[in-house]
Chain A
Amino acid sequence: MKIVVCVKHVPDIQSERTIGDDGRVVRDGGDGTLNELDENAIEAALVLAETHGGEVVVLTAGPADAVDAVRRGLQMGADEAVHVLDDALAGSDVFGTAAVLAAAIGLVEEEGPVDLVVTGMAALDGLTSMLPAALAAELGIAQLTLASAIDVVEGSDGTRVTVRRELDHATEVLSAMTPALVSVTDQANEPRYPNFKGIMAARKKAVTTFTLADLGIEPAAVGSSGSRTRVLSATARPARENRVLITDDGEAGRTLATYLVDNKLV
């Protein structure tokens, strides 16, 4: 089974995250990291490959720093890494990114069919959660999204993937034959930490770099020029004013009640 895991390099959520005058996330602060939720995707792919045999390719599209994200995937145990690196990618929206990742998966497929594409449930910078469904649509394969549990059964008629997912109002079980895209939630597993052996082994693994020209994608179709939305303004939210911090002296419950009534909150 060949599995491609799509990952993103994002600003560390514990760092001071900012948006530049161009309306884009500032990505060169040196605080970049593999999107935490993508670790669940890598873990899910590694477990599937360990259980059913096969190889795991980690794929990212992004600036030079983004190679750190796929390297982390290699350290965790992935076999190969692909980095789509092109200046024209800057400012891509989810649809540009989906088109680029789909084209890159197409190139990976030249060395053998891809059975599963695995992603995280969201990237902790944009948090739109749209990439998995957009990518499945671009690839024309089944989408099994927001999996908190994955079950793979290999049969004589092909491989069937079944996932359980928790939605706002319901729990669902979805199923499809491969090829399919699976996105996993942070409930799906506990991602492993790269061990020393993994870190050493990753040093010997090469990262294949593709440009947009390799993918046959026109630069104008992606990046800011291809984006279907434009940021008009971005401002840091002002701190809340008139904040009060008290220590309970035996009256804090009554203070709380009075506060709610006085501020017409109840």
Chain B
Amino acid sequence: MSGSPAGPVLVLLDHTADGMLRPAVLELLTLARGLAPDAVVEGAWVGGDPGPALGELGEQGLVSVHHLDVGVAEPHLTPVVAQALGALVTATGARLVLGVSSFENKEVAARLGVATGAGVVTDASGLELDDDGAAVADKTVFAGTWNTRCVVTAPVAVVLLKANAVQAEPASLVTSPAVVEHVVEIGELALRQTLVERTERAGSGRPELGAAQVVVVGGRGTNGDFGPVEALADLLGGAVGATRVATDEGWIAHDAQIGQTGVTVAPRLYIGAGVSGAVHHRGGMQSAGTIVAVNSDPEAPIFEIADLGIVGDLFVVLPQAIEELRRLRG
């Protein structure tokens, strides 16, 4: 890390409908500040009023937030976001755009790449700049079994980072971000699809699965009883996840599914209960810091990657662990 990118580093500020920042954005801002000593970090906010988030953005030392007003266009449509962001890249001369790695942002990045010629890395677990200021990103592939490092050779780089790639920290200097207004004319191509309906999922009261530090997961072995899994997650302040079998059986909502086609998690601690560890599931959790597995089948593939594997009945082991943790914590 030494070279500095020309133009600002733009961070796409994912937010809720009522203007609250998604927590993983704070990690991006922390990472962006540290990219180069003279890095200029600016926010990109599509739709709505950024007002409610300015306090939090100021704690991240952000000097300016670009508010991209898309008029009557639907700001949740990814082609609309991509076009607005493309206009901002041109207007600011930004050479690096950062975003949280999500399904929506992958679509945004893909369209931004087609429109601007930018090179894209998704699901990055780390990022630095080389001597020429080019973006160099780390990424694990093949269900977490390979580590790769790649450089973006195109003039503009878009890097989407996985949650937990860095620890969010406040900036040493708190700022009052200035809001820079842009009105973006959205073209016909971005309006070819319409959003008929959008239902934001209600929070579970637990941390967000993709960003949680602790994730407790239930699989086939729960037989539909997530009681012990939820109890352990709540004791540890963690999120609850599930395998494909558990969501297909309707034991828990589909959005709890961890795996290659579901949510990818990289928590400090992963605890799998009754999870066999099929390759599809491993692809979504193998970069966890510590992996603990409880399964009654000694042949379960998850034991091949577990730091602590326990062959046993989860309905016995988890309650005992909960009781002991309560005792140890006094």
Contacts and interface: CB of A to CB of B under 8 A. Distances in A.
B312 interface: yes
Contacts of A187: 254
B254 A166 contact: yes
Interface of B: 16, 22, 76-79, 82, 102-104, 106-111, 113-115, 117-123, 136, 140-154, 189, 192-201, 210, 214, 236, 254-255, 260-261, 263, 268-269, 279-280, 283, 290-292, 294, 298, 303, 305-313, 316-325, 328
Interface in A143-192: 143-146, 162, 166-177, 180, 185-187
A158 B77 CA distance: 23
Contact of B120 (A13, A94, A242, A263): A94
7 contacts: A17-B146, A129-B107, A169-B16, A174-B196, A242-B307, A246-B310, A246-B311
A140 interface: yes
Contact of B195 (A173, A240, A247): A173
Contact of B119 (A228, A252, A255): A228
Nearest to A165: B103
Interface string A15-45: 0011100010000000000000100000000
B310 A252 contact: yes
A237 B306 contact: no
* Contact-residue size bin, chain A (C-beta under 8 Å from the other chain): 35 or more
A94 B40 CA distance: 29
A174 B113 CA distance: 23
A256 interface: yes
Contacts of A240: 291, 305, 307
B145 A237 contact: yes
With a 10 A CB-CB cut-off, give which of A132, A144, A162, A245 has the most chain B CB atoms. A245
A130 B117 CA distance: 14
A266 B236 contact: yes
Given A93-B119, A143-B79, A227 B279 contact: no
3 nearest A-B residue pairs (beta carbon)? A253-B320, A248-B312, A228-B119
A126 B236 contact: no
Nearest to B247: A187
Nearest to B311: A247
Please report whether the interface of chain B is mostly helix, strand, loop or mixed according to DSSP: mixed
B261 A137 contact: no
A211 to B, nearest CB: 23
B310 A260 contact: no
Given A130-B110, A137-B114, A144-B193, A236 B298 contact: no
B308 A259 contact: yes
Contacts of B317: 248, 252-253, 256
A228 B118 contact: yes
B96 to A, nearest CB: 13
Contacts of A244: 307-309
Contacts of A167: 102-104
A228 B117 contact: yes
A175 B263 contact: no
Nearest to B282: A13
A79 interface: no
B106 A129 contact: yes
Given A122-B261, A130-B106, A248-B310, A162 B153 contact: no
Nearest to B248: A187
A175 B146 contact: no
Nearest to B14: A169
A96 to B, nearest CB: 11
A19 B311 contact: no
A133 B310 contact: no
A227 B76 CA distance: 29
Contacts of B106: 128-130, 133
A210 B319 CA distance: 61
A246 B307 CA distance: 11
B254 A243 contact: no
Contact of B194 (A130, A174, A254): A174
A138 interface: yes
Given A93-B119, A172-B195, A256 B321 contact: yes
Contacts of B319: 253
Interface string A91-122: 00111001000000000000000000000011
Contact of B150 (A173, A180, A231, A266): A231
Nearest to A124: B260
A81 interface: no
B237 to A, nearest CB: 9
Contact of B141 (A126, A141, A261): A126
